[in-house]
Structure 1
Amino acid sequence: MRHSLSPLSAARGHLVRQLVYFDERLPAFSNTYLAEFNPVEKKLIEDLIREYMEQLSAALEHDDSVLGSRLKTDILIGSTVKVTYDDDGSADSFTLVYPTESDPDRNRISFISPLGRQLLCKKTEHPLVLDVPDGRLGLKIREVNYGYIGGFIST
Structure 2
Amino acid sequence: MNRSIAYENSRHQLIRQLVYFDEKRSAFLDQYFPNYSKDRTQTEQLLGAYSETLERILHENTPDSLNGTVLIGSRMRLDYLDDGSAEEYTIVFPHQADPYNNWISFLSPIGSQLLMARHNGTYSLDVPSGAMKVQIAKLKYYHCSDL
Q: Give TM-score scaled by structure 1 length.
A: 0.88
1:26-52 per-residue CA deviation (whole Å, 9 max, x = no partner) reads 00000002237x711211111011100
Checking the alignment, whether the CA contact within 8 Å between 1:81 and 1:94 is kept in structure 2 is: yes
Is contact 1:33-1:99 (8 Å) kept?
Answer: no
Structure 2 counterpart of 1:47 = 45
Number of corresponding residues = 144
Q: Does 1:94 align with 2:89?
A: yes
Q: How far apart are the structure 2 equivalents of 1:39 and 1:23?
A: 21
What is the DSSP-based 3-state SS (H/G/I as helix, E as strand, rest coil) of the residue aligned with 2:60? coil
Bigger CA drift: 130-139 or 90-99? 130-139
CA distance in 2, matches of 1:50, 1:71: 18
Q: Could you report, residue by residue, the CA deviation over 1:86-136 in whole angstroms, capped at 9, with x for unpaired residues?
A: 111111111000000000110000000000000001101211111111111
Name stretches of at least 5 consecutive residues in structure 2 with no aligned partner.
none
Q: What's the offset of the Cα at 1:144?
A: 0.8
- Paired with 1:79 and 1:150, the residues of 2 have a C-alpha distance of 8
Which of 76, 81, 97 is the matching residue for 1:81? Answer: 76
Q: Report the equivalent of 1:151.
A: 146
Q: Confirm or deny that 1:20 pairs with 2:15.
A: no
* 2:58 aligned partner: 60
Percent identical pairs in the alignment equals 36
Q: 1:35, 1:124 → 2: CA distance?
A: 34
Native 8 Å contact 1:80 1:147 kept in 2: yes
The match for 2:112 among 117, 135, 142 is 117
SS of residue paired to 1:145: strand
1:6 aligns to what? Answer: 5
- Does the CA-based 8 Å contact 2:73-2:144 persist in structure 1? yes
Which stretches of structure 1, 4 residues or longer, exceed 4 Å deviation after superposition? Answer: none
TM-score, L = length of structure 2 = 0.93
Q: C-alpha distance in 2, partners of 1:109/1:35? A: 21
Q: Which runs of 5+ in 1 are unaligned?
A: none
- CA-atom RMSD, angstroms? 1.4
